[in-house]
Structure 1
Amino acid sequence: MDEMKRKMDDFDLELSTIVGLEELKVQLRKWTKGTIMDEKRRAICVDLGRRKLPHMAFLGNPGTGKTTVARILGKMLSSIGILSSDKVIEVQRTDLVGQYVGETGPKTRKKIREAKGGILFVDEAYRLAPITSGQHTEYGVEALEEIMSAMEDDDLLVIFAGYSEPMKRVFSSNEGFCRRVACYFQFDNFSCRELAEMLLIKMSKQGKRSRMSGFKLGSCCSVESVASVIERRTSEKVRNRINGSLVDHMLNNAKDNLDLRLDFEASGDELFTITLPDLETGLDQLARLDLD
C-alpha cells in the first residue's frame, strides 16, 4: 500500500473515533489530503516553494473536541514530516501573561520553546485581546505579538481556539493575524443523540484509572433512552455551554446517586450497574448549576 495512502487512512481512522462533527470532518479530510499530496509532490522534487505551516483557528464552544482534533492533527503532521514531533502544548492566558512589567515576554517565549517541533494550542485565545483597556490588556497583546513572531518558525504550528464571536477580536487586534492563520475550522455543538453516543462509548472503554472503571450501564440505557433523558433534563443553553463535558458530569453524578441509593447489603452486579434513573438524577444535579 502506498505510504501516503496509509497515512491518510490512519488519519481517517482517528477521526472516525470522534462522535459527530461531520461537516468539520469533511473539511479536515479535504485539507489533510491536500497537505499529504503536496508532500508527495515535493518527494519527487517538484518545487512548490517554501513550505508554510498551516496555522489555524478552531472556533466553537467548550467541549466540542477542539483539543482532541489538535492531537490527531499533531500525529498526522508529524507522520508526514511537516512537524518533527506530535506533541501538543496547551496554554491559556495565565500561562503566557505576567502580573508585572517584563514578565509576559519571558513566560510566553518559554511556552513557545516548549512547543517547538509540535503544536502550540492557545485555548480561549480571545482573552489575549480583551474588550477593556489597561495595563493587563497590554500584557495580553504583548503575548499575542510574541506568538505571532514565533509563527514564522518552520517547526511550530499554532492553533488559536475559542468561542466564535469573541475570537473576532483576536482577528482584528493584530494586522498580521489573518496573513499568518491559513485555516479556520468551525466546531458545532453536539446534539442530544451524539452526547448519548459519547456516553455509551465512554462506558464501554473505561481505563483502569477512570472513576467509572468496572461500572456498566443498565439494560435500559440505550442510545435512544439516554438521548431522551438528556433532552428532557437539560436545556439547550446548558448543553451548548459544556457539550462533551456534560457526559463526564452526568456519569460522575450518576455514580454518586448509585452509591447513595444502595444499602450496605448490596452485592454483585447491583454494586456496579448505573441505571437510567441514576443518569436522570445526575442530570438534575447538573441542571441546578448556575452556568450564567
Structure 2
Amino acid sequence: MSQTPLHVANNMEEEQRKRKAIESLSETKAKVDEFEAAISGMVGLDDLKMQLRSWARGMLNDEKRRAFGFDIAPRRLPHMAFLGNPGTGKTMVAGVLSKFLHMMGILSTDKVTEVQRTDLVGESVGHTGPKTRLKISEAEGGILFVDEAYRLIPMQKTVDKDYGLEALEEIMSAMDSGKVVVIFAGYSEPMKRVIKSNEGFCKKVTTFFYFDDFSATELAQILHFKMNNQDPNSSLYGFKLHPSCSIPAIAELIDSEITEKQRRGMNGGLIDPQLANARQSLDLRIDLDCTDTDVDELVTLTMEDLGVGLRLLTR
C-alpha cells in the first residue's frame, strides 16, 4: 500500500528530527568527553572523579531521553558542597566545572567568584545584606564559590548578634534565581553547622562532593606535574629536577619529613612553598665562582634542595 503525501512528509519530518537529535547528542558527548579528560588529568581524587563522571553522564543521558521524546523533569541548577581538607583541589575542580557548565549552556560564563566570610559579612546592622548581594551580583552567570563556608555560622551562640547567618540566608535566596551556581566549600565536620543552620540547605544543595587527602605518592606526582608544566609567570620557570628526583624518592622524602597531621593540613598546598624554599636552597648551595660550576646545575633542583624545602616548612 503506497503512502500518502502526508505520511511521507511526516516520516521525513521524523527522520529530520532524529538526525538533529543525534547531532546534538554527538556534540554533548564531545563536551562530556572533554570534561572527563580534564578531571582524568588531576592527580588522585579517584572517588571524586567517579562522582563527577556519574554526574556529567547523567546530564548527557537526560538530553538523550529528551531527544527521543521522553518528557522528563528538568534538572535544577547544580548547587553543590565541596567537603575536604585544605589543598585537596576544591578550587581547581570548581574551575573545571565552570568551564563544563558554560560549554553545556547551563552557565552564561565560566567565571568563578571566590568569597569568604569577610567578603560577605558586615560589622553592624544593615551592612551584611548589601555586601552579600553585591558579591552574588558579581557572580551572576557563573559560580559563586563560598570558601570556608562554616565560618558563616559561629561555633557557639554569642551575646552579640553574628551576621554570618544573614549572609547565608541571602545566598540561599539567590539560589532559586537561576542566575548563579553556588558551591559551599570547607572541612567536612564543621560544614555540618551550615547544613543544620538552614532547613532548606539540603533541598537546594543537591550534590555533595568529598575530597580525600593526598598520599605522599600523589603529592610527589603533583610536584612532578608542576615542574614539567610550568607557567611562564612562575618563579620556577626554566628550572628542572635532577634525575634522582623520581616520584618514589620524593614520596619517601615527604613521608620522612612531614607528619600525617601536617600533610592533611596542607595537602597540595605544601608543594609551592616547598619548591620556593628548594630554589633558595639551590641559590645558597651554588658556588658563586661559575667557572667551576656545571652550567646545568644553575637551574637543577636536587633531592637535597627538596629536603631543605620541606624542613623549612616544618621548623
Indicate whether the TM-score tops 0.5: yes
1:232 aligns with 2:283: no
Aligned mate of 1:18, from 42, 48, 60: 42
Kindly state the Cα deviation for residue 48 of structure 1 after the two structures are TM-superposed.
2.5
- Classify the secondary structure of the residue corresponding to 1:138: coil
**Cross-structure match for 1:196:** 220
Superimposed CA distance per residue, residues 166-193 of structure 1 (whole angstroms, 9 cap, x where no aligned partner)? 0000000111111111011110000000
Distance 2:247 2:223 in 1: 9
Alignment of structure 1 residues 73-112 onto 2, 5 Å: 73-112=97-136
* Paired residue type of 1:278: D
**Cross-structure match for 1:124:** 148
**Cross-structure match for 1:271:** 298
Distance 1:194 1:156 in 2: 33
Change in CA separation of 1:144 and 1:242 when aligned onto 2, cut-off 3 Å: same
Kindly state the Cα deviation for residue 135 of structure 1 after the two structures are TM-superposed.
6.9
**Cross-structure match for 1:146:** 170
**Cross-structure match for 2:93:** 69
Change in CA separation of 1:83 and 1:220 when aligned onto 2, cut-off 3 Å: same
1:186 aligns with 2:210: yes
> Does the CA-based 8 Å contact 1:64-1:189 persist in structure 2?
yes
- Classify the secondary structure of the residue corresponding to 2:162: helix
Kindly state the Cα deviation for residue 46 of structure 1 after the two structures are TM-superposed.
4.1
Distance 1:49 1:30 in 2: 18
* Paired residue type of 2:130: P
Residue-pair matches, total: 288
Structure 1: runs of 5 or more not aligned: none
Alignment of structure 1 residues 147-166 onto 2, 5 Å: 147-166=171-190
- Classify the secondary structure of the residue corresponding to 1:154: coil
Distance 2:50 2:177 in 1: 28
**Cross-structure match for 2:82:** 58
Distance 2:216 2:85 in 1: 16
Distance 2:302 2:103 in 1: 43
* Paired residue type of 1:54: P
Change in CA separation of 1:139 and 1:254 when aligned onto 2, cut-off 3 Å: same
TM-score by length of 2: 0.88
Kindly state the Cα deviation for residue 42 of structure 1 after the two structures are TM-superposed.
4.0
Kindly state the Cα deviation for residue 5 of structure 1 after the two structures are TM-superposed.
1.4
1:282 aligns with 2:305: no
> Does the CA-based 8 Å contact 1:97-1:140 persist in structure 2?
yes
Change in CA separation of 1:8 and 1:103 when aligned onto 2, cut-off 3 Å: same
Distance 1:69 1:21 in 2: 11
Kindly state the Cα deviation for residue 138 of structure 1 after the two structures are TM-superposed.
2.7
Distance 2:234 2:140 in 1: 31
> Does the CA-based 8 Å contact 2:154-2:162 persist in structure 1?
no
Distance 2:162 2:65 in 1: 44
Distance 2:141 2:186 in 1: 23
Change in CA separation of 1:274 and 1:184 when aligned onto 2, cut-off 3 Å: same
Distance 2:101 2:94 in 1: 10
Change in CA separation of 1:38 and 1:151 when aligned onto 2, cut-off 3 Å: same
Distance 1:138 1:254 in 2: 43
Distance 1:218 1:51 in 2: 50
* Paired residue type of 2:182: V
Kindly state the Cα deviation for residue 44 of structure 1 after the two structures are TM-superposed.
5.7
Distance 1:50 1:3 in 2: 19
- Classify the secondary structure of the residue corresponding to 2:36: helix
Distance 2:105 2:34 in 1: 15
**Cross-structure match for 2:18:** none
- Classify the secondary structure of the residue corresponding to 2:209: strand
* Paired residue type of 2:303: L
Change in CA separation of 1:42 and 1:88 when aligned onto 2, cut-off 3 Å: farther
**Cross-structure match for 2:19:** none
